Amino acid sequence: MAPEDARRDLPEVIEAPAPTPWPFVTAVGVTLGFAGVVTHPAVSGVGLLLALTGFVGWMRQVFPVEQTEAIPIRPPALRARQVATSRRSIEHLRLGESAHRARIPVAVRPYSAGVKAGLAGGTAMAVVAILFGVLAKGSPWYPINLMAAVALPSLASADIAQLRAFNGLALGVGIIVHGALSILVGLLYAVILPTLPRYPVVWAGFVAPALWTALTWSTLGLVNPVLNERIEWHWFVASQVAFGLATGWVVSRAAPVATMQTWPLAARMGIESPGVFDEEKK
């Protein structure tokens, strides 16, 4: 057999440094040497001895001839195939005024959209709650009185008959509390949803209600045990989903407002410059 054929039959190898524990011993010695500065000089002495021993052993594997080992390489037929990548087009952010750096979000929803969304979501939640009261408890006033029990201690210990009866004070408190919370959450949705990926209705209608339900379920037993015993969780989830879907739909339908990054530099700096905005609009 020719020397070329014999060399061709040998497996492909690469030379790599031979495994050695001496770098680890040297590192431990250096660590102990510095640790002795804040502990005891004996620790530094042991560290210095280990560091010198590791350094000498390390150098003996490098000089005068470096110690290596041959690592065989798999034949091409047995090697892993090249990963095929799928190149997808991405949506690039457009620069702002005068090539100003783009920031997320590039557009937001007006606060008025958050107020409208909160009112719409609150109405949808109220419809589901009243439906629950009529079908499950035989009275539309039951969910209203149950909500007002959060602010009225007298209703927290009321029996089923009292919760089914009409209560003017509970109705007023329930409307005020429910309306204020609905508007507040609607404003939060108007601010947060533009910063999230696509499909804001999914985030508002399913993801947020799931998180809020989990938080309420885990803490209501400690905050208000009486209310926790009387709440119907499947109806609670349905009302949260109704609120989220209505709120997310109203927010997504609102006309977006461009953020300040599209404004001229003078406007971003707060400098009064009459005519700048008019020139930009032309």
User: Is 89 a member of any domain?
Assistant: no
pTM, entire model: 0.59
Range(s) of the domain holding residue 119: 107-261
Query: For position 277, what pLDDT does the model report?
Result: 53
User: Is 81 a member of any domain?
Assistant: no
Beta-carbon contacts of 88 under 8 Å, excluding residues fewer than 6 positions away, are none
Same domain, 131 and 253: yes
Cβ-contact 127, 235 below 8 angstroms: no
- E strands, the chain, where? 13-17, 68-72, 107-108, 257-258
The fraction of the chain above a pLDDT of 70, given in percent, is 85
Phi/psi of residue 41, nearest 5 degrees = -60, -25
In which residue are the tokens 């204020």 written? 180
Same domain, 153 and 240: yes
User: Is 93 a member of any domain?
Assistant: no
Same domain, 192 and 242: yes
Over residues 35-85, the pLDDT tens digits come to: 998 888 899 999 999 999 999 998 988 888 888 888 888 777 777 777 777
Beta bridge partners of 16: 69
* Residue 23, token pair as written in the block: 């770098």
Q: How confident is the model at residue 1 (pLDDT cuts 50, 70, 90)?
A: very low
Query: For position 181, what pLDDT does the model report?
Result: 92
- Cβ of 116: how many Cβ atoms within 10 Å? 19
DSSP 143-163: HHHHHHTTT-HHHHT--HHHH
- Taking each helix axis from N to C terminus, what angle separates 111-132 and 141-148, rounded to the nearest 10 degrees? 120
Q: How confident is the model at residue 11 (pLDDT cuts 50, 70, 90)?
A: low
| Mean pLDDT score of the chain | 83
Beta-carbon contacts of 262 under 8 Å, excluding residues fewer than 6 positions away, are 96, 97, 100, 106
Same domain, 113 and 249: yes
**DSSP H or E stretch at residue 170:** helix 168-192
Whole-angstrom distance between the N-terminal and C-terminal Cα of the chain?
Answer: 85
Contacts 24+ apart (CB under 8 A), 53-61: 53/25, 53/29, 54/22, 54/23, 54/24, 54/25, 54/26, 54/27, 54/28, 54/29, 55/22, 55/26, 57/20, 57/22, 57/25, 58/20, 58/22, 58/23, 58/26, 61/18, 61/20, 61/22
Query: For position 122, what pLDDT does the model report?
Result: 94
Over residues 158-211, the pLDDT tens digits come to: 888 888 999 999 999 999 999 999 999 999 999 898 888 778 888 999 999 999
Is the predicted pLDDT of residue 279 greater than 70, yes or no? no
Same domain, 57 and 181: no
User: Is 70 a member of any domain?
Assistant: yes
The pairing of strands 68-72 and 107-108 is unpaired
Same domain, 59 and 129: no
User: Is 232 a member of any domain?
Assistant: yes
Over residues 205-263, the pLDDT tens digits come to: 999 999 999 988 888 888 777 778 888 899 999 999 999 999 999 999 999 887 777 67
CA distances from 140 to 3, 28, 151, 204, 206 (A): 97, 74, 19, 27, 26
Q: What is the CATH number of the domain that holds 65?
A: 1.10.287
User: Is 279 a member of any domain?
Assistant: no
Query: For position 93, what pLDDT does the model report?
Result: 62
The domain total for the chain is: 2
Same domain, 70 and 116: no
* Residue 140, token pair as written in the block: 């539309």
Same domain, 70 and 184: no
The mean pLDDT of 135-142, rounded to a whole number, is: 92
Query: For position 32, what pLDDT does the model report?
Result: 92
